[in-house]
Structures are given as C-alpha cells and as structure tokens.
Amino acid sequence: MRILIAADMEGVSGVVHWDHVDSQHKEYARFRKLMTGDVNAAIEGAYEGGAEEVIVADGHGNARNILVEELDPRARLNSGSPSPFAMVQGVDTGVDAAMFVGYHARVGSTHAILDHTWSSMCVANVWLNGKPAGEIGWNAAVCGHFGVPVIMISGDQTACAEAVELLGEVQTAVVKQARGRMSAECLPPELSRHKIREAAARAVRGLRAGQAPQALRLEAPIQVTLELVTSDMADRAALLPGATRLEGKRVEITVEDAATAYRAFRSAVALARP
C-alpha cells in the first residue's frame, strides 16, 4: 500500500497570515518547521494504519518548505519546482491513495484562512466543468485521473468541509477554527498533530477495508474557465493555444482530461502573472 501525502502550507497548524508562509519573512522558519511536523504526523498515522510506503509532495510556493532533515526517515520527499504534477507530484507512480495535509479553502470562501486558488495575486475564480474548483478540487481531479482517491485532509474547518462536500467520506483533521481570512482559533501543534495522525490512520484502515471514498472522475471533455484579477492578466492568459477569451477578465479552454486541464490552468496562470 503506497500513500501520497500532498502538503500545502496555509492549512498547517498555527498559520493565520501570509507572513507565516512567505519564505522572505522572518516568521517563515517557524512555520516550515510546523509544516514538517504536520506532515510527519500524517506519515506516522499512515504507517499506523497499514501503509507500506509513503511519498510526500511539497506543494507550497516553490515547493522548498518541508525540512528534509526532520522528515520521518520512512518517507521520501518530492521537493522543488516546477515538477510535472506540482502539488501532487508522484501521483503517477502507482499510489493507492492521497492525503491532503495543510490544505486551504478555495478563493472566495467565508471563514477560511488565506483562502485562494493557486495564486492570490492572479486568480479571482476558476471553474472545472462549470463548478468552482479550489486547490482541493484541482488536486483531487488530478488524483482521480490516475484512479487515486483522496482519503484524508487537514486544515481549517472550511477546507475540511469543502473536501467532504466534494469527495464524500474523506477523513478530516481540523487543526484550527477560522473566524476570518486571517484569524483563527488554533490548536497547539501537540494536539493538532494527534488529530492528523489519527485521521491518517483511520483513512488507511478504511482504504484497506474497502471503505475509502471513490476517486474523483471528471466527465470529459473538461472545460476550464478562469477569471483573472485584472483584464491585462486575461490578455496574457488568453495567449495560451486553444484558449478563448470570454468577457474582460475571463478565459476558457476545453481539454481532454484532468491532467491536461491542470497543465493548461498552471500555464494560463504563469502567463497571467505580471
């Protein structure tokens, strides 16, 4: 049983502000350590539940956040960017299930720490086949393309609820109660790691018992609709071959499958960036 742990940073224990997740800020050193701690808790839980191999994907920013020297030695780390599958790098290597650790709610959510989708600077909204998709939705769709179900998530209460709504009976570890975009009641890491470990163990046990949620399969062809923050960003995103300009700030592209949709979305956002 191989498990992919896909880690982001905004939903990590204690994180409530951009300063905490910005590698240029002096607070960042504390929070990358906390991120590593949340990931280690998930690794421990996965093995406790019966996993035989765990690979980790560092999915925040430049993907150089997790402290490899502090990583549980049973795991392997995908680090650095760009990589072919970004936040779920390793998903194509024959994993049985994925866990999302430190995840956050999609752009425009209420009571959600640092809610955004891919780029808070560029992305005003994004839809997959007409349905709003945050990073949970995008990465679950890429996992689903490879037949991989998402079985566990940690983050604030809103991120966890978003995952349950989209994926069904996924195991959740709520590590903070968001009261706003930059305010939350946070559990001390000792407690949040305990919750993460337990949720990860339950998830793998459920998977082995044949009770895991289904992999998320999107109906092909897949329509990606992207609303940028400003119209000049849309001017640039619309240069992507195959893209259609809708109104001022929206572009749309239709592709064959979720893995290609992810590439198109990442490319459009990369073009849009000022």
Question: Is 116 assigned a catalytic role?
Answer: yes
- Rounded to a whole number of angstroms, the minimum distance from the CB of residue 43 to Zn ion is 20
Q: Which residues of the chain form contacts with Zn ion (CB under 5 A)?
A: 8, 135
**Which residue sits closest to Zn ion, CB atoms considered?**
8
Q: At a CB cut-off of 8 Å and minimum separation 6, what does 269 contact? A: 118, 119, 122, 123, 226, 237
Taking the C-alpha atoms of residue 127 and residue 253, their distance in angstroms, rounded to an integer, is 11
End-to-end CA distance of the chain: 43
Residue nearer to Zn ion on the CB measure, 8 or 38: 8
- Rounded to a whole number of angstroms, the minimum distance from the CB of residue 107 to Zn ion is 10
Residue nearer to Zn ion on the CB measure, 108 or 221: 108
Torsion of CA 201, 204, 206, 210, to 10 degrees: -170
- Rounded to a whole number of angstroms, the minimum distance from the CB of residue 130 to Zn ion is 22
For 156-170, letters b (16+ CB in 10 Å) and e give bbbbbbbbeebbeeb
- Rounded to a whole number of angstroms, the minimum distance from the CB of residue 115 to Zn ion is 10
- Among residues 123, 120, 159, 158, which one has the least CA distance to residue 140? 159
Residue nearer to Zn ion on the CB measure, 8 or 162: 8
- Rounded to a whole number of angstroms, the minimum distance from the CB of residue 268 to Zn ion is 17
Query: Residue 77 phi/psi, 5° resolution?
Result: -115, 125
Q: In Å, what is the CA distance from 196 to each residue of 13, 54, 125, 187, 231?
A: 10, 15, 29, 12, 41
Taking the C-alpha atoms of residue 187 and residue 197, their distance in angstroms, rounded to an integer, is 14
**Catalytic-labelled residue, pool 20, 60, 104, 116:** 116
Task: Tell me which residues are annotated as active site.
Answer: 116
